[in-house]
Structure 1
Amino acid sequence: METRARKNRKNSRLRDMLLDFESHVIHIDKSMGEVKETLEVVEGSIDKLDQMKEQFKEYMTKALNSNMDALQALFNTIVAKIMKKNDALEAGMITIKEENEAIMMTLNTKIEELKEELVVCRVVVGKWEIEQYFLAMGMKDDDGKVNIVSMYFIDVALLWWHCRSIIEKRGEIEIETWEEF
């Protein structure tokens, strides 16, 4: 009997172990079910996040494209205005240049006319001064007058030449041709 009792005890222990093992398996199965449910919830949440990510990406792309289009339109408007102003400035500069050339031609012509008048005035004043000199000296002889006028012009020419030479030595002007003399 001992063997049977031993066997029964052994079987009883095995049954207890088996029952214990089955309860652990049931507990593990429940836990696995819960893990599967949690995994499904997590996967669903990940899918929702991926969808939200795609929606956000599309929204940002649309928003950036919209802003870019607005900025491009503004840029094009500004460039067009600048080009119009540049064209207007160029036209104004051309007009001013033409007017300046016309004014310079007029001024150069006027300067030449005034130079001619100045020469005439100097001749008239010089002649008057010489006549006054002759009257003051009481000279009536034409030969004497010619000698004095010749010496006067020689002195004026020498004085002029001396002043001109000093100016040339300073480097302010160079006399290279007869016309410049």
Structure 2
Amino acid sequence: MSKEVVGQSEPMETHGRAKKASRSREMLTALENRVVNLEESVGNMKETFELVEGCTDGFDSMEEQFRDFVLDSLDANGEKVKELLESTAKKLAERDENLEDMVLAMKKEIEELKGKLTIYKVALSNGMLTSRSTDEKRGGNAIGTWEEFQRELKKQFYPQFAEKEARAKLRCLTQ
């Protein structure tokens, strides 16, 4: 009985070993196929990587060219901006000087006008208006405009002005 059992178990083992060997061969073949596929994929990836690397080399040179172009442009524009700023600063300095001169001239004119105003105030306070009103009572004309007032005032304080005005009237009449 033991032989039978042993005998029966042997063919089973062989049959099982054959199945295991067959499965192992199938697995080995499948693994080999996967390795082949993986090798092909790696080969394809290497080709793609080389193509990409070739493109990036072109990009690197383009990047350097672009960087040089930008730096050159900035340098050129920087020079132009610097010149423009210097020119503007010079013009502003000239305008500042001109404005200072104008302010000084206006201050002088204001001082002159203040002097004239003082003269007018004194003339008014000394009774010029009262003498004018007496002239009106005697049949004279009233001062109607500012220009007439100035002319009358100058006649009283600057006799040479009255002479110039008289000469001007004579010239107009003789022509």
TM bucket by the smaller chain? 0.5 to 0.7
Residues 17-38 of structure 1: per-residue CA shift (max 9 Å, x gap):
xxxxxxxxxx655554433333
Corresponding residue number in structure 1 for 2:151: none
In the alignment, structure 1 segments of 5+ residues that lack a partner are 1-26, 140-181
Residues 62-88 of structure 1: per-residue CA shift (max 9 Å, x gap):
011112222333333334434433432
Residues 128-157 of structure 1: per-residue CA shift (max 9 Å, x gap):
221232233239xxxxxxxxxxxxxxxxxx
CA RMSD of aligned residues (A): 2.6
* Bigger relative contact order (CA 8 A; separation at least 6): 2
Aligned amino acid, residue 78 of structure 2 = M
Residues 41-96 of structure 1: per-residue CA shift (max 9 Å, x gap):
22322332232232122111101111222233333333443443343233222211
Q: Where do residues 49-68 of structure 1 align in structure 2 (5 Å cutoff)?
A: 49-68=23-42
Corresponding residue number in structure 1 for 2:89: 115
Q: Distance in 2 between matches of 1:58 and 1:116?
A: 84
SS in structure 2 of the partner of residue 104 of structure 1: helix
Aligned amino acid, residue 124 of structure 1 = N
Corresponding residue number in structure 1 for 2:166: none
Corresponding residue number in structure 2 for 1:103: 77
Corresponding residue number in structure 1 for 2:10: 36
Deviation at 1:105, TM superposition (A): 1.0
In the alignment, structure 2 segments of 5+ residues that lack a partner are 114-175
Normalising by structure 2, report the TM-score: 0.52
Aligned amino acid, residue 81 of structure 1 = C
Structure 1 121/29 Cα, relative in aligned 2: closer, same or farther at 3 Å?
closer
Percent identical among aligned pairs is: 7
Aligned amino acid, residue 43 of structure 1 = R
Aligned amino acid, residue 48 of structure 1 = S
